[in-house]
Structure 1
Amino acid sequence: MTPAGYFEAIDVNRYKPTPHAGGAWHRDEQHFSPLGGLVVHAIDRHRAAGPDDGLVLSRISYDILGRLALDECEIEVATVRPGRTIELVEAVVRIAGRPVVRARAWFLARLDTAEVAGGADERLPRPESLAPWPMSEVWPGGYIASLDVRPVAPPEPGRTTAWVATPLALVAGVMVTPLASYLALVDTANGIAVRQPPTAWMFPNVDLTVHLHRQPHGAWTGLDTTVAFGPSGQGLTSTVLHDVDGPVGQAQQILTVRPVPGM
């Protein structure tokens, strides 16, 4: 039977990716999106071992240091800057003993600021009202095949707004926080608004940075995404993140743009 999750827990710090985590660029690699959620799960476990300080994750930045082999990974987490109202936590993912992802997360105090809350609050159409889009027609890989993608309008080159959800657990048989599940889908943004066919051009991201002004909730991750390619081999994927109640933050991904060898 195929495991009903993207990862299986081996012990408290080690995880094995399942075929559902398979990458879109190469079949022997894992997609970064569920791994990004797994990092948040590891950070959650690290912080849960200490006192409940009421802090919430407000920014997380990931640097992808190398090839993400579809193999067992180990995640080490440490508190870099402890504090009662502000805390910085770092996580390092290793595969075969080599660091492949380094992430840093800022946690900020949760306070009642409803009186002054404001900003963009336009909601996307609810996902239940939208038709699914077979994203596997554009991308291969187990991760993409696992998704339920509901675009607000037909995807266009460099511009798409869509809801993304999955029926799979992040870690098979393990409860994770709603935030870990939400962030496990954010890296999908770089694949929903392709400017050029991935059979002709490669544009993988080497990082992902997420800023949150509100904690998301619900099973759907909303991605209002724009992709730009520059003239000298760089690109940028910019996304306003939503839940069903409206915007929750933004995500940015820098891309290395290059033609597929042989094309």
Structure 2
Amino acid sequence: MTESYYRRVHGTDAEDPVFESSRLTASVWGPDLQHGSPPLALLTREIEQLIAGSGQRIARLSLDILGAIPVAPVRVRARVQRPGRRIRLLEAEMRAHHDDRPVARLSVWALATDDTGAVATDRHPPLIEVPAQPPPAWFAQSTGYARSVAWRGQPDSADGAAVAWLSPRVHLVDSEPTTALQRLAMVVDSANGIGAALDVDEYIFMNTDTVVHLHRLPAGEDFGLRARASIGPDGVGATTAELFDRTGFIGTSAQSLLVQRR
């Protein structure tokens, strides 16, 4: 990996860091708009740094996209909303640097860890990768974010859900190490594309949020998403997904969709 989504260009311990957004953050919906996964990963990074050494770990990530996220410099900050030794609520925000407009906000529950290995359970068996099928044509032909992720399509599951394994090909910030949770965040917003129920040439189905619940922290660099969308009769939809790493089931995601005919 030689490229990254963001390059740190400004910021000291006394001020909010500013990051230049690379062309690899660009969404399929437009070259000047960021895909949801890079901002989610960058804000997750801020939260992980804030809780480091606390004995707590992230159990839920809830990203709200507040407006068009530009492929341009952005400023981020993180803070504790509700302190606690066992349960803590944290928030990270991304703002467009040129006009200080809030564009994304991440709400996180961090919970104290303990040894529950003797009673650990997964409700889904591990997802086994088989020889890859080609990615959707709209993804294969896209630039920006689509070039930053290895997408390995799989046969649909028995209930009709679409399945793919995704792996980030780039760093998150400069060449700094990236955690497994950040790498999951770098791909999980793609559940909307994996589980797409509509033709991208005929419809826009843009998610306004991504909510991830994790009963186990992810490991590694490869993540399986089993996703399916439901489209309502009034221009609103939802995509839900089960999330896997190489070891097994790690959690779920859900996204609200704005659906419009092009």
TM-score (norm 2): 0.91
3-state SS in 2 of match to 1:39: helix
3-state SS in 2 of match to 1:184: helix
3-state SS in 1 of match to 2:32: coil
Structure 2 equivalent of residue 53 of structure 1: 54
Structure 2 equivalent of residue 23 of structure 1: 27
> What whole-Å deviation, never above 9, does each CA across 1:137-157 have from its counterpart, x for those lacking one?
4462310122211122169xx
Offset at 1:132? 5.3
TM-score (norm 1): 0.90
3-state SS in 2 of match to 1:161: strand
Counterpart check, 1:115 vs 2:115 = no
Structure 2 equivalent of residue 232 of structure 1: 234
After superposing the two structures, state which structure 1 stretch, 112-121 or 28-37, moved more.
Answer: 112-121
Runs ≥4 in structure 1, deviation > 3 angstroms?
134-139
Counterpart check, 1:143 vs 2:145 = yes
Structure 1 equivalent of residue 131 of structure 2: 130
Q: 2-side partners of 1:231 and 1:121: how far apart?
A: 31
Q: 2-side partners of 1:23 and 1:137: how far apart?
A: 12
Offset at 1:60? 1.0
Counterpart check, 1:77 vs 2:78 = yes
Structure 2 equivalent of residue 162 of structure 1: 164
| Unmatched segments (≥5 aa) in structure 2 | 12-16
Q: 2-side partners of 1:187 and 1:55: how far apart?
A: 24
3-state SS in 1 of match to 2:206: coil
Structure 1 equivalent of residue 4 of structure 2: 5
| Unmatched segments (≥5 aa) in structure 1 | none
After superposing the two structures, state which structure 1 stretch, 232-241 or 187-196, moved more.
Answer: 187-196
Which among 224, 230, 253 is matched to residue 222 of structure 1? 224
Counterpart check, 1:92 vs 2:96 = no
Q: 2-side partners of 1:135 and 1:221: how far apart?
A: 18
8 Å Cα contact 1:135/1:144 also seen in 2: no
Structure 2 equivalent of residue 188 of structure 1: 190
8 Å Cα contact 1:136/1:145 also seen in 2: no
> What whole-Å deviation, never above 9, does each CA across 1:89-126 have from its counterpart, x for those lacking one?
10111013000111110000111111222231411113
Structure 2 equivalent of residue 105 of structure 1: 108
Offset at 1:75? 0.6
Q: 2-side partners of 1:136 and 1:74: how far apart?
A: 34
Q: 2-side partners of 1:10 and 1:208: how far apart?
A: 27
8 Å Cα contact 2:149/2:168 also seen in 1: yes
Q: 2-side partners of 1:217 and 1:184: how far apart?
A: 13
> What whole-Å deviation, never above 9, does each CA across 1:242-263 have from its counterpart, x for those lacking one?
1111110100000011111xxx
Structure 2 equivalent of residue 172 of structure 1: 174
Matched residue type, 2:111:
L
**Bigger proportion of residues as strand:** 2
Identity %: 32
Q: 2-side partners of 1:106 and 1:4: how far apart?
A: 31
8 Å Cα contact 1:237/1:255 also seen in 2: yes
8 Å Cα contact 1:132/1:149 also seen in 2: no
Structure 1 equivalent of residue 45 of structure 2: 41
- Residues matched between the structures, number: 253
User: Residues 251 and 236 of structure 1: is their aligned pair in 2 closer, same or farther, counting only changes over 3 Å?
Assistant: same
8 Å Cα contact 1:136/1:144 also seen in 2: no
Matched residue type, 1:4:
E
Backbone CA RMSD of aligned residues: 2.0
Matched residue type, 1:234:
V
